[in-house]
Amino acid sequence: MLVEKNPLVFPILNILKVIVEPISEHALIARLQQLDTVNLSLAGSLNLFQTHFMVMNALYYLQGELIREGHYLSISALSIYLQPMTTINSATHSGISLDSDASLREYYLDWDNFKASAEEIESLLAGFWRYYRGGDKKQQALAVLKLPRDADWPTIKKTYRSLIAEQHPDKGGDALMFIEIRQAYEILLAIYAER
């Protein structure tokens, strides 16, 4: 049974029952570390990953259990909170589904993922930082093209072609803006090519 594998399930549930404001994962871990019955280490990448995994495993397990009892557990790294289903606006949350987090849920409920090696953890962290840095560049490049954060590739290409034609120096456009648009497009091209 999952609860037997993860000793954090009941301590986390007890914390969720008494908090009145959403709590971050970091703050939740800090509270767990204050308990005499819980021993969590954050020293080193492997320990940090395993602590994170156990917390998320417990949260996703509890989410599935609590929804059956009429409570919804909202899970994100910066905002974790429990609320009765009766307080959820039926117009915006009718038929709450756990499908939106299905891939995360599946990952964290699979104990085989807990057994990742130190090398696998370092690879995951390196991938995260590449993605994170790329996200900043992506947002800046999208801003140059005056596109929203969720712009898809066809929209990016179409907008780029329009702006590059408009700013082409041979057609009276701004040469510096032309270069900036071209650089933004190259950044987005590299980011989308990695996917």
Beta strands in the chain (DSSP E): 71-74, 81-84
Last residue of a domain, one of 96, 116, 136: 116
Residues 47 and 103 both lie in one domain: yes
* Per-residue pLDDT tens over the stretch 141-193: 899 999 998 899 999 999 999 999 998 888 888 888 888 899 889 888 887 77
CA 88, 16, 79 angle in degrees (round to 5)?
65
Residues 45 and 80 both lie in one domain: yes
Query: How high is the pLDDT of residue 130?
Result: 67
Last residue of a domain, one of 69, 93, 116: 116
pTM for the whole thing? Answer: 0.61
Residues 156 and 189 both lie in one domain: yes
* Per-residue pLDDT tens over the stretch 60-75: 999 999 988 889 999 9
Residues 24 and 40 both lie in one domain: yes
Residues 101 and 127 both lie in one domain: no
Residues 16 and 108 both lie in one domain: yes
Q: Please give the Cα distance from 74 to 96 (Å, whole number).
A: 11
| Domain around 145 | 120-193
Name the band, by pLDDT with cuts 50, 70 and 90, for residue 9: very high
Chain centroid to CA 127: 14
Q: How many domains does the chain have?
A: 2
